[in-house]
Amino acid sequence: AERRLRRMLEHLVAPQLSTVSLDRSVCLSQTANANAAQEDVVYVPGDFARKSLISSRSQYEELYNEAIADPNAFWGRVAAGYFWQKLWDTSKPICNYNFDADKGPVFVEWFKGGYTNVCYNALDRHVLAGHGHQMCFLWEGNDPGQNAYLTYSDVLKKVCQVANFLRARGVKKGDRVCIYMSMICELPIAMLACARIGAVHSVVFGGFSSESLAGRILDCQAKVLLTCSGGRRANKVLPLKQIVDDALQICLKEGNFRVETCLVYDNSFAIPRQNVPWVQGRDVWWQETISQFSVDSPVEWMEAEEPLFMLYTSGSTGKPKGLIHTVGGYMVYAGLTFKHAFDHQAGDIFWCTADCGWITGHTYVAYGPLLNRATSVIFEGVPTFPDAGRWWQIIDKYQVSILYAAPTAIRTLAAQGDEIVRKYSRKSLRLLGSVGEPISPKTWQWFYDVVGDSRCPIVDTWWQTETGGCMIFSLPGAWPMKPGCASLPFFGVQPVILDQEGKEQHGPCEGYLCIKAPWPGVARTVFGDHERYENTYFKTWKGLYTTGDGCRRDADGFIWITGRVDDVLNVSGHRISTGEVEGALVSHPLCTEAAVVGYDHEVKGQAIYAFVSLSHDATPSDALKKQLQDAVRKQIGAFAAPDVIHWAVGLPKTRSGKIMRRILRKIAARQFNDIGDTSSLADPSVVDQLIKGM
C-alpha cells in the first residue's frame, strides 16, 4: 500500500507554485470608496489566479447572473454532468417552490421526476470510466504510522458489501440507519452504502453522549446502527460501543424501541475486542460479516426529491432538528460547490479536517470530493497529537494541496508559534479554506502568512447544516480577498439583508441575513415535523429563508458574517443551543433555573457561561459546579459543558418573565459599564447582585 501511495503521489503532486510576495493594498479596486479603503485587501497570488477555474469577477458574474436569470439552463447543465437513470421532467421549471408560508405549505423541488443515485455518481461512474485505480481515501489514524489507502474500486467494493448486508437485514429504501463512528474510512463507506440502497443515514457525531444518541435514534426510529468498538483522539480512548449500548438501553426504557441490528467495526487500535460489550443476537462484527457479502450490489434508483440523509442540528429552542437533504439537489450542489470553492483540479490532494458527524464532513469529506473524483485525506486524530506539528507533517506526507479547516483549530495551532509550522515544507499546499465560524483578520493573516507562506489564497466559506453546501465565499482566484470576509454569494444564491423591521436594505448596510429563493442544496424539511421547518426558517420574514446570522455588506458588495442573531452558540465551531444546555443544567435536582450565554474565547471562539440559581437548601461549591458540568456532558456531550458557572441569586427578567440575555452577555463579557437600559426589568437590583457575585 505504501508503494501504491508513493506511485500515486508521483502522478498527483500538485503543480508547484512559485512564491509570490504580495503588495498588500488598502483598496479593492480603483473605484473603491472610503468605506472599503479601511479594510485590508489581499490580492490573489498571480500564479494561482492564472490557473484557477474562475479567474475574474466578471467571469463569476456572468455565471452568477445566468444561474438566477435562467436556472433551467444553468442547473440543467450542471446536473447533466451526472448520470441520471431517467432525466427530470424538462417540460417543467427545474425548480418549483414556495417560500411564503402564508400562501400554503413551504416546499422546494429540484429536478423533479428525475431518477439518479448519489453513490453511483460518487463511485460507479468513475470506476466504469476506468478510474478505479485512482486513490480515493488516504486515511491517517490517530497515531502516526497508522494508515490505510483505498482506491475508488476498493471503496466501491466495500460499499457494495455493506449495502448487501443492510439489505440482508431488511433495510429498505426510506428506512433510517444511524451511524455512530470515529473518523475511519468505514464511516463514509457506511454513508455511501445507505445512499446506494436508498436508506436515509443519520450520522451522529462521536462526541455526543449516550443520551443524545438515544434521542436521535428514537426520533428517526433507526432500524440498524453502524458503529465501531471505539475511537482514539490523542491519548483518549472513546468507548463508542459502550456508549451505543447505553443509548440502546435508554431507547428501550424510554421509547420502548429496539434497534434490530448493530454492526460493529472492530477498531482494535482503540479497544481490544475482548473489552467490547456485546449483545448476542443484535450485535455483529463488521469485518467477519461484511467479508461474506458480494462486492457487487445493484443501485436503488431514487427520485430526485427522495431523502438522501438526515442530520440533526441545534436551534435556539427545543430538541435538535433532523434536517432532511434530498438526492438530486444535494448531489448537484455538493458537487458544484466542492469544485469551485476549492478550485478542485486533477492532481489535487484534498484534506477537509472536519468529522463526518457534522455537515462539513458530509459534504466535503464524503460526498463533494467523491462526486468530483477527488483524492482526499481522512484523519482520525487531533491537530496537537503527538505534537502541534501533526497537521503539517500530514500535509507533507500526502502532499496535500488543499486544506479546509475550522478557525478554532487554526487558533489552537497559531498559539503554538510559527517555528513548529516552519519545520515542515508545506510546499504542496496551494489553497487554504476556513469554515464554521468567523475567522478573525488576525487568525486569517497567520493562516495566510505562516501556513500558506503568503502563496495560497484562503477561501472563507459561510454556510450551514441547512444549506447543504457553501453559500457565501471568497471564490478563489476570482477577486482579491479581505481577511475575515466571506465576500460574495455562490451561483444561484440570493442573499438579502433586512433591517430590524424586516425591510430589505441596499448598498452598504448591516442586518439580518436571509436568502430569497432556493438553491439546490437547501434542506427540504425537518424529519417528522414540517411545521417546525416552516416556523424556524420561513415565518420570521415573509417569503425568505432566515439564516439566523447577522451580517454587514460593505461598499464593494462583500458580505461579512457577524455571527448568530438567535440563541445559538458556536463553541469551537460546534453549534449548540442555549436552551439545550439550560435544560441539562435544570435537570440537576438542586438547580432551579439556568440561563446560558456565550462569551469571547481565545481558542474556542465562543465559550459557555452559565448563570445558575440553586434551590434554597443547596450550598454552592466546586463539587456542585462539577456535577452541573457533568450533567451537560451526560445529556449532550463534553463539548457543550459550560466553562463558567456563576451562582445567581436571581436572573434579570422583564415584568413578563422573559430573561434578558443581552444583560447577561454584558456581565459574562465583564462589560459592566455598558449594561444598557435596565428599566424594563422586574427587579433591576438583580444586575448589581450578579456583578458583585463575579
Contacts for 523 with CB less than 8 Å, ≥ 6 apart: 323, 324, 325, 465, 466, 467, 468, 533
Q: For ligand PRX, which stretch binds (CB under 6 A), given 64-72, 121-129, 493-501, 556-564?
A: 556-564
Q: For ligand PRX, which stretch binds (CB under 6 A), given 241-249, 391-399, 454-462, 664-672?
A: 454-462
Q: Which of 462, 479, 519, 538 binds ligand PRX (CB under 6 A)?
A: 462
Regarding 436 and contact with ligand PRX (CB under 6 A), the answer is yes
Residues 383-422 that bind ligand PRX (CB under 6 A): none
Regarding 561 and contact with ligand PRX (CB under 6 A), the answer is yes
**Which string of b and e fits 476-504 if b means at least 16 CB within 10 Å?**
bbbbbbbbbbbbbbbbbbbbbbbeeeeee
- x/- track of binding to ligand PRX for residues 299-338 (CB under 6 A): --------------x-------------------------
* Residue with smaller CB distance to ligand PRX, 125 or 325: 325
Residue length of the chain: 694
* Closest listed residue to residue 198, CA positions, set 87, 307, 293, 356: 307
Regarding 549 and contact with ligand PRX (CB under 6 A), the answer is yes
Question: Could you give the angle at the alpha carbon of 567 between the alpha carbons of 539 and 531, nearest 5°?
Answer: 30
Report helix angle 152-168 to 186-197, nearest 10. Answer: 60
Number of residues that bind ligand PRX (CB under 6 A): 23
What is the rounded distance in angstroms from the CA atom of residue 428 to the CA atom of residue 401? 5
Q: Which of 266, 348, 437, 556 binds ligand PRX (CB under 6 A)?
A: 437
Long-range contacts of 98-107 (CB under 8 A, 24+ apart): 99/516, 99/517, 99/518, 99/538, 99/543, 99/544, 99/545, 100/538, 100/542, 100/543, 101/534, 101/538, 101/539, 101/542, 102/542, 105/530, 105/534, 106/530, 106/533, 106/534, 106/537, 106/538, 107/524
| Other Cβ atoms within 10 Å of 2 Cβ, number | 8
The question of whether 246 is a catalytic residue gets the answer no
Residues 567-606 that bind ligand PRX (CB under 6 A): 570, 575
Regarding 380 and contact with ligand PRX (CB under 6 A), the answer is no
Calculated CA dihedral for residues 245, 246, 249, 255, nearest 10 degrees:
-120
Regarding 248 and contact with ligand PRX (CB under 6 A), the answer is no
Regarding 359 and contact with ligand PRX (CB under 6 A), the answer is yes
Residues 251-290 that bind ligand PRX (CB under 6 A): none
In the complex, what is the shortest distance from the CB of residue 407 to ligand PRX, in angstroms, rounded to a whole number? 8
Regarding 157 and contact with ligand PRX (CB under 6 A), the answer is no
In the complex, what is the shortest distance from the CB of residue 58 to ligand PRX, in angstroms, rounded to a whole number? 25
Distances (CA, A) of 205 to 176, 179, 309, 357, 582: 16, 9, 14, 4, 21
- Kindly calculate the radius of gyration of the chain based on its CA atoms and give it in whole angstroms: 25
What are 478's three cell numbers?
Answer: 476570482
* Residue with smaller CB distance to ligand PRX, 149 or 463: 463
Q: For ligand PRX, which stretch binds (CB under 6 A), given 70-78, 154-162, 326-334, 357-365?
A: 357-365
Regarding 207 and contact with ligand PRX (CB under 6 A), the answer is no
Question: Could you give the angle at the alpha carbon of 411 between the alpha carbons of 577 and 631, nearest 5°?
Answer: 35
Backbone torsions φ then ψ of 256, nearest 5 degrees: 50, 40
Q: Which of 205, 338, 463, 519 binds ligand PRX (CB under 6 A)?
A: 463
* Residue with smaller CB distance to ligand PRX, 376 or 461: 461
* Residue with smaller CB distance to ligand PRX, 179 or 359: 359
What are 43's three cell numbers?
Answer: 490580492
* Closest listed residue to residue 581, CA positions, set 321, 355, 322, 319: 319
**Beta carbons of 236 and 340 less than 8 angstroms apart:** no
Residues 471-510 that bind ligand PRX (CB under 6 A): 486
Catalytic residue among 143, 396, 566, 630: 566
Q: For ligand PRX, which stretch binds (CB under 6 A), given 188-196, 224-232, 418-426, 563-571?
A: 563-571
* Residue with smaller CB distance to ligand PRX, 269 or 599: 599
What is the rounded distance in angstroms from the CA atom of residue 28 to the CA atom of residue 383? 34
Q: Which of 127, 414, 435, 485 binds ligand PRX (CB under 6 A)?
A: 435
Residues 519-548 that bind ligand PRX (CB under 6 A): 547-548
- Residues with a catalytic annotation lie at 566
Residues that bind ligand PRX (CB under 6 A): 313, 358-360, 435-438, 460-465, 486, 547-549, 561, 563-564, 570, 575
